[in-house]
Structure 1
Amino acid sequence: MISIDRDDPARSDVHQLLSEHLADMFATSPAESVHALDHSALSVPSITFWTAREDGGLLGCGALKLLDSPAGSPVHGEIKSMRTTASARGRGVATLMLRHILADARARNLERVYLETGTEDYFAPARRLYARHGFTECPPFAGYVLDPNSVFMELRLQANHAGLLPAQ
């Protein structure tokens, strides 16, 4: 059975997966368009980091970064460092991780979750995954700028002030 739990990004097997992730990002995109975080950047208090494991073996990881809000408490989040091990691809691990992150965001009463991913063919499966879960393209957010190598996406989680029901 696959379990998803909070974990330490500096843990040796996770550190290796994140290093592979960064290497792939730099091999696929220009350096100025790589927004992936290393294990130390994922260890800050504003980021919650999880791993998916089966019988102790690492299958993947993902994180939720709380974005600054002018009113004080965060109302938006950003998905960071979604990655599945090569041996776990095609097993639904990314879907399980995404659902877990979104459930956490809903539990925190976040209104929106954003993400940035690449435009290259390498990122097409990720874009399809996010679109299947209701994400739509949006303008840059949280300090990002327009970049021909980046796609920005958002998912609205909470009701707006007009009284609409929360997104499912």
Structure 2
Amino acid sequence: MTGAAAEAAGAAVIRLADPDDPRVAALVAEHLEEMEPTAPPESRHALTVDRFRSPAVRLWVAEAGDALVGSVALQDLGGGHLELKTMRTSRSVRGTGLGRRLLLHALAEARAAGATRVSLETGSSDVFAPARALYRAHGFVGCEPFGDYRPDRHSTFLTLPL
């Protein structure tokens, strides 16, 4: 990573996304493409850009200059339970702390909304080890599948009581 990438990630502004922004569609497409080789289709649970139009889903993006370099979303599962979705940073800014900033932003938003729990599904393969470590470092612990999820060897389920 270049010093410029680290500087851009550090200066990135996290803001509520506009699903009609073509940069959001490109960021989501990049995420879906990156997830494709990690598991079979039935085991990939990333949202499409159309799902971000649902009133139950809020998406934030990290913007550095004219580029969107990260995203995080919360989906309301009801009863004070939110699901963390689309948590990612672009390859160019990985390792800069932007992922941590996005996670902390989403958790602050969840608390402000009165949520009592945030859960997530992430991959179980080695490529997801850094993400699982980040979540665990912020208090997430293993849990059973929640919502519409079912047990899946490609998935790891984590939760954080707020």
Does the alignment reach a TM-score above 0.5?
yes
Superposition pairs of residues 11-160 of structure 1, within 5 angstroms: 11-69=21-79, 75-157=80-162
Which secondary structure state, in structure 2, belongs to the residue aligned with residue 113 of structure 1?
Answer: strand
4+ long deviations beyond 6 Å: none
Q: Report % sequence identity.
A: 44
Quote the Cα distance in structure 1 between the aligned partners of 2:31 and 2:154: 17
Quote the Cα distance in structure 1 between the aligned partners of 2:46 and 2:59: 13
Which secondary structure state, in structure 1, belongs to the residue aligned with residue 49 of structure 2?
Answer: coil
The structural deviation recorded for 1:13 is 1.8
Q: TM-score, normalised by structure 2?
A: 0.90
Quote the Cα distance in structure 1 between the aligned partners of 2:72 and 2:20: 14
User: What are structure 2's unaligned runs of at least 5 residues?
Assistant: 1-10
Letter in 1 for 2:56: S
The structural deviation recorded for 1:155 is 0.3
Moved more, 38-47 or 12-21: 12-21
Quote the Cα distance in structure 1 between the aligned partners of 2:15 and 2:70: 11
* CA deviation string 1:41-92 (max 9, x = no partner): 12210011100112232110110011123xxxxx110000011111111111
Quote the Cα distance in structure 2 between the aligned partners of 1:10 and 1:20: 16
Asked whether the equivalents of residues 10 and 40 of structure 1 are also in contact (C-alpha less than 8 Å), the reply is no
Aligned residues: 152
* CA deviation string 1:78-130 (max 9, x = no partner): 00001111111111111000000000000111110000000011111110110
Quote the Cα distance in structure 2 between the aligned partners of 1:20 and 1:4: 18
Q: Which residue of 2 is the match for residue 5 of structure 1?
A: 15
Structure with higher helix content: 2
Quote the Cα distance in structure 2 between the aligned partners of 1:8 and 1:76: 24
Quote the Cα distance in structure 1 between the aligned partners of 2:118 and 2:98: 19
